[in-house]
């Protein structure tokens, strides 16, 4: 498995529509494994294909620090609650920028798993939020799109300074981050 470079805000791929996966192949499984590895190394709880420069409708989610990894191929929200929650979100592609986003509190997601088998999962709380955030990525949508004009402006101002650290819109995890992750995994 390998840790991949993460694309940050400014890379046009983050705004592109993704393509439905017709058949889940061995190559997709390798991609999914690399996405989990990258997400864990970056200490994220979700990662979508465009964030690592790919255009497949694939995302990975793990809100419990490695104990509940969920691969999502062609995911869609088939049901969402009318009641909503507002909570702070961040994104591996917009490091150091956070904002409150209101979303349905519960969703049912339909997808294929790593082996191409269809499944449905009901989620609430953080997992529901994470599913929605990642599926948005597959539609070229980012959490900052939900912020009010003023809050988005202040987020983008913050980002304008932060992005200098990511030449060519690429966030390459440092050796320390990657090896620290490997140490964690060994424990």
**C-beta of 186: minimal distance to Zn ion in Å?**
28
Count, residues in the chain: 187
Q: SS3 breakdown of the chain: % helix, strand, coil, rounded to 5? A: 40, 25, 35
Pick the closer one to Zn ion by CB: 46 or 112: 46
Burial zone of 161 (CB within 10 Å; 0-12 exposed, 13-18 middle, 19+ buried): exposed
Please identify, among the stretches 1-9, 84-92, 151-159, 179-187, the one whose residues bind Zn ion according to the rule CB under 5 A.
84-92
**C-beta of 183: minimal distance to Zn ion in Å?**
25
| Cα distance between residue 45 and residue 160, in whole Å | 24
Pick the closer one to Zn ion by CB: 65 or 118: 65
Please tell me whether residue 39 binds Zn ion under the rule CB under 5 A: no
Pick the closer one to Zn ion by CB: 58 or 91: 91
Catalytic residue among 56, 120, 134, 186, which?
A: 134
Please tell me whether residue 91 binds Zn ion under the rule CB under 5 A: yes
Please identify, among the stretches 29-37, 86-94, 109-117, 160-168, the one whose residues bind Zn ion according to the rule CB under 5 A.
86-94
Quick check: helix, strand or coil at residue 143? helix
**C-beta of 165: minimal distance to Zn ion in Å?**
18
Catalytic-residue membership of 56: no
Residue 183, beta-bridge partner list: none
Task: Name residues whose C-beta falls within 8 Å of residue 92's C-beta, 6 or more positions apart in sequence.
Answer: 6, 39, 42, 44, 47, 51, 171
Quick check: helix, strand or coil at residue 7? strand
Please count the other Cβ atoms lying within 10 Å of the Cβ belonging to residue 126.
Answer: 15
Please tell me whether residue 8 binds Zn ion under the rule CB under 5 A: no
Please tell me whether residue 45 binds Zn ion under the rule CB under 5 A: no
Pick the closer one to Zn ion by CB: 41 or 91: 91
Please tell me whether residue 138 binds Zn ion under the rule CB under 5 A: no
Tokens of 42: 């970056």
Could you tell me if 8 and 171 are in contact, meaning their C-beta atoms sit under 8 angstroms apart? yes
Pick the closer one to Zn ion by CB: 91 or 155: 91
Catalytic residue list:
134
Query: Contact positions toward Zn ion, by CB under 5 A?
Result: 91
């Amino acid at each position: 498995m390998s840790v991949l470079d993460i694309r940050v805000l400014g890379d046009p791929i983050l705004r592109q529509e993704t393509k439905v996966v017709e058949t889940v192949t061995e190559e997709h499984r390798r991609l999914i494994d690399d996405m989990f590895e990258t997400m864990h190394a970056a200490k994220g709880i979700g990662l979508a294909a465009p964030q690592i420069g790919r255009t497949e409708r694939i995302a990975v989610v793990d809100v419990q620090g490695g104990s509940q990894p969920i691969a999502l191929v062609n995911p869609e929200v088939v049901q969402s609650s009318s009641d909503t929650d507002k909570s702070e979100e961040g994104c591996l592609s917009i490091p150091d920028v956070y904002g409150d986003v209101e979303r349905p509190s519960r969703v049912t997601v339909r997808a294929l798993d790593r082996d191409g088998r269809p499944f449905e999962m009901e989620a609430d709380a953080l997992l529901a939020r994470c599913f929605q955030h990642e599926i948005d990525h597959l539609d070229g949508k980012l959490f900052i799109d939900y912020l009010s004009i003023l809050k988005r402006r202040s987020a983008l101002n913050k980002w304008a300074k932060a992005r200098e650290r990511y030449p060519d819109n690429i966030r390459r995890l440092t050796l320390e981050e990657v090896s620290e992750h490997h140490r964690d995994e060994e424990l």
